[in-house]
Structure 1
Amino acid sequence: MLSRIGMPSHLKGYQYLKTALAICLEDMEELDGITKKLYPAVARKHKTTAEKVEHAIRHAIESAWKRGDEKVHKSLFGYCQTEGKRPTNSEFIARMADYLLHDTTSLLS
């Protein structure tokens, strides 16, 4: 799904997002403390710091937003790059986790 929205798979943020989404799919309450709980959990799994995780995820989202399909972005987030908006890290993770839990059959089929 991350590739479908235009995120380059070679970025560290791509791998960190995969881990973050897996953690959220097990327990959506991780989203309640993204900087206090989720980033440190991802950092432990990848042997890095929470700050580096946050930065790499932000960079990966920016890359996807610049190069991805605006129709896909619009369908997932309700807006796209041409509207001058980009999702925050927490908004991106929350929407992607929600999509993976609930909308996989209806959206982007």
Structure 2
Amino acid sequence: MNDGIKRGTGLYAENLRTIAAREIELRLTPYIYNLGIPPHVSGYGYLRDAVIELLLEPAAQVGVTKYVYPSVAAMYGTTVHAVERSVRHAITAAWNGGGLRRVKGDPHNTVLRFHSRPTNKKCIMALAQMMKEQYGNQIADWYGDAVGSETE
């Protein structure tokens, strides 16, 4: 069945991006939960989407505050300041609960262990790095050639 979406078009790239984002979300969510970040806190979703954005958009690695926060804020219809504050609150809640000092059920994961409360950027970058180490080639497979087709 032809759904009218052709390779090399913006819609094709957008659909691949959505599929890749869902795959990453599926695998990332348990890690965020195991870090002790409470799911009911709005920063939980913002943090998850910030990591997804960082993984799917290579340009985002240049500036988390200049690219990732505005993108997440646009997704949720809120401000950049609210996103930053909510992510900081979620990280602080996890740190105070002891979750960021150790990862439950994964004694070998040193990427997600911090000696002091991490900044938002450090936490987002560490989660993205962990996902790249665990699923690096698969992320490229999920996203396919969407990055290249957006610029054509």
TM-score, normalised on structure 1?
0.82
Partner of 2:140: none
Unaligned runs of 5+ in 1: 105-109
2:68 matches 1:33:
no
**Aligned-partner SS, 1:75:** coil
2:111 matches 1:76:
yes
Rounded to whole Å, the distance in 2 between the matches of 1:28 and 1:7 is: 26
What's the % identity of the aligned pairs? 34
Larger Rg: 2
Rounded to whole Å, the distance in 2 between the matches of 1:89 and 1:40 is: 14
Tell me the C-alpha RMSD between the 2 structures. 1.9
Distance 1:49 1:86, change over 3 A: same
2:71 matches 1:57:
no
Q: What one-letter code is carried by the residue in structure 2 that aligns with 1:72?
A: V
Deviation at 1:19, TM superposition (A): 0.9
Rounded to whole Å, the distance in 1 between the matches of 2:50 and 2:129 is: 13
Partner of 1:47: 77
Deviation at 1:91, TM superposition (A): 0.6
Unaligned runs of 5+ in 2: 1-30, 136-152
Deviation at 1:72, TM superposition (A): 2.2
**Aligned-partner SS, 1:70:** coil
Partner of 2:40: 10
Detail structure 1 runs of 4+ shifted over 4 Å in the superposition.
none
- Whether the 8 Å CA contact 1:31–1:90 is kept in 2: the answer is no
For residue 99 of structure 1, the aligned residue among 130, 135, 142 is: 130
- Whether the 8 Å CA contact 1:40–1:50 is kept in 2: the answer is yes
Q: What one-letter code is carried by the residue in structure 1 that aligns with 2:121?
A: S
**Aligned-partner SS, 1:98:** helix
Equivalent residue pairs, number: 100
